Amino acid sequence: MALLELEDVAVSYGNIAALRGVSMAVEDGEIVALIGANGAGKSTLIKAVAGLLRSRQGDVRYAGRTIKGLDAARVARLGLAVVPEARRLFGAMSVAENLELGAFVRGGARRGDLEEVLTLFPRLAERLPQKAATLSGGEQQMLAIGRALMARPRLVLMDEPSIGLAPMMVQAIFAAIARLREQGRTILLVEQNARLAMRLADRAYVLELGRVTLAGQASELAAMDRIQELYLGA
């Protein structure tokens, strides 16, 4: 049984249907890429899994139980961490405090938690006492990922972690995700940068106007003409 399963998930904002019956799965230890154009419904899907929005039909199952209808805090306590769109750091709080709050689900950080995140992102180590709002865009993204990892989650949902970053920073973020992959983490990676995402992912889904239009091995999808044209700019 998959760790995360979406079955016929549909979400609307008023009259606007953002997701129209989406089914997908993420297996334990897998990196799954979710790609799609602006407005395809990627962030909506993340929010529907995280408990910020509710699907009006179908089901969302995590670790064998339904999580549809649970609020976000409950979902988080089940070991599902989110790197949200726009990062949503606690800007007026320090880097250290942001990381500590990441471990809130486990009653606060334990020995070794912080060290692990700082090994992944050494740049954060020098900035621990600094307010999160004063970090550069790339550092903020590192902090957002680090904060999610502090929960020692079983599944991480990342919503466009490389968006708006300079090429150097995009490389750094993807290098970190590659390290997480080596550690055998389970990640659902929403990305605009389809080229890099497909290179890292085991499998990928393509979302168009709220529907999954293609799914399969990332390498196979990346080789398809249609994907090349639409998302890889070939």
Ligand X SMILES: Nc1ncnc2c1ncn2[C@@H]1O[C@H](COP(=O)(O)OP(=O)(O)OP(=O)(O)O)[C@@H](O)[C@H]1O
Binding site for ligand X (CB under 6 A): 13, 16, 18, 36, 38-44
DSSP β-bridge partners for residue 55? none
Smallest gap from residue 88 Cβ to Mg ion (A): 13
Q: Does 56 bind another protein (CB under 8 A)?
A: no
Smallest gap from residue 151 Cβ to another protein (A): 7
53 touches, from Mg ion, ligand X, another protein, none (C-beta below 5 to 8 Å by class)? another protein
The residues binding Mg ion (CB under 5 A) are 43, 85
The region of 29-37, 72-80, 177-185, 188-196 touching another protein under the rule CB under 8 A is 72-80
Q: Which two tokens stand for residue 22?
A: 């989406």
Smallest gap from residue 179 Cβ to ligand X (A): 25
Rule CB under 8 A: choose which of 36, 41, 84, 161 binds another protein.
84
Q: Which two tokens stand for residue 170?
A: 């995009």
Interaxial angle between packed helices 137-149 and 167-182, expressed in degrees from 0 to 180 and rounded to the nearest 10: 20
User: In Å, what is the CA distance from 66 to each residue of 7, 61, 185?
Assistant: 11, 4, 22
Give CA–CA dist 62/6, Å, rounded. 9
Q: Give the pairing type, strands 31-35 and 203-208.
A: parallel
Q: Which two tokens stand for residue 195?
A: 């080229």
Q: Which is nearer to another protein, 43 or 186 (CB)?
A: 43
